[in-house]
Structure 1
């Protein structure tokens, strides 16, 4: 008689149901559903991943299960332990920044994206549901380093590191358009820190607040690597 792993079967069925369920949702509801799942599962997943993946030793080694030890410096270990106390917390709120039509036009010039929704003020006033031009989603995304203060050399986020590298993005959404003339700012929440060779990998969820608007203009998970 063929044996069935009941737990594995139940897990597969639930994952399929969750996937199908999300497909029925409108994009707006899907964003809220994903945010709800993140918040409800955060504490459990954070604790389990910490137990499952890493163990910080007194000699400065960080061991990942089933892998060779990752050697970390005393500086990296100190920053790692400091950041662990901030997991799940908002660690930065940026300054307000106004997205002008000139800013949008310059981005259009650089990228070659001259859609009337972004550049034709007169047409947008008549035909656009927003009654004005809007910023490109990728323009909002490109402003993340500035909005999070990452480009301010006089105020480094991690003063003791030798090099900081933008490693990429895990997820990006644009829940609401940023209208031209809007004022925006970034909220950064630390979600994960992992030891890597010669440094740390840091993941932050960055949400772009639009002044006077309930929904954010962008939500992205940024991955940065710092080297000592």
Structure 2
């Protein structure tokens, strides 16, 4: 498993231009089924089953992984910094992804601009099937990072619900 690079809040601007990658992981059929059951997407797939390849990973499923994959690579230090998703620009699903595909994840830090006493970070993020000409998902993703204020209580690792998804990194 890749270990996240922890970055102090004041050092975030130094990340501009850096690229972080996970070279190989998979999304299992069970993970696809869980996502479809939770979001209700499976209903439309069953109706149009012949239009989709076996094991297709829904585009928004790949988008939902961006936060998890990104923080497994690089993140502001959670002991001193509060970070939240701020939004997305230019979201595209240029090609299909399936559970049969070996996948890679790429995160490039495009910009880090001051915002109040914190920063707004812009990333170019993509998930691509090995051997594909185009990514299956590409998004310009935004996060905001601010210093923790005095008295802010952090959740301990014991109180954070574990995630069943762990990218199988080779």
- C-alpha change, 1:139 and 1:76, in structure 2 (3 Å) is closer
RMSD: 2.5
Structure ranking higher in helix proportion:
1
Runs of 4+ in structure 1 displaced over 3 angstroms? 75-79, 127-130
Taking the aligned partners of 1:109 and 1:129, their CA distance within structure 2 comes to: 17
1:224 to 134, 143, 165: 143
Paired residues of 2:103 and 2:128 also in contact (CA < 8 A): yes
The answer to whether 1:191 aligns with 2:98 is: no
Paired residues of 2:12 and 2:112 also in contact (CA < 8 A): no
Please, what TM-score do these two structures have when normalized by structure 2? 0.70
Q: What stretches of structure 2 of length at least 5 have no aligned partner?
A: 1-7, 148-170
Q: Secondary structure at the match of 1:157?
A: strand
Tell me the CA shift for residue 146 of structure 1: 2.1
Match of 2:75 in 1: 157
- C-alpha change, 1:137 and 1:197, in structure 2 (3 Å) is same
Match of 1:175 in 2: 94
Taking the aligned partners of 1:101 and 1:205, their CA distance within structure 2 comes to: 27
Paired residues of 1:95 and 1:147 also in contact (CA < 8 A): no
Q: Deviations over 1:19-41 (max 9, x none)?
A: xxxxxxxxxxxxxxxxxxxxxxx
Paired residues of 1:195 and 1:201 also in contact (CA < 8 A): yes
Please, what TM-score do these two structures have when normalized by structure 1? 0.54
- C-alpha change, 1:115 and 1:194, in structure 2 (3 Å) is same
Taking the aligned partners of 1:199 and 1:111, their CA distance within structure 2 comes to: 33
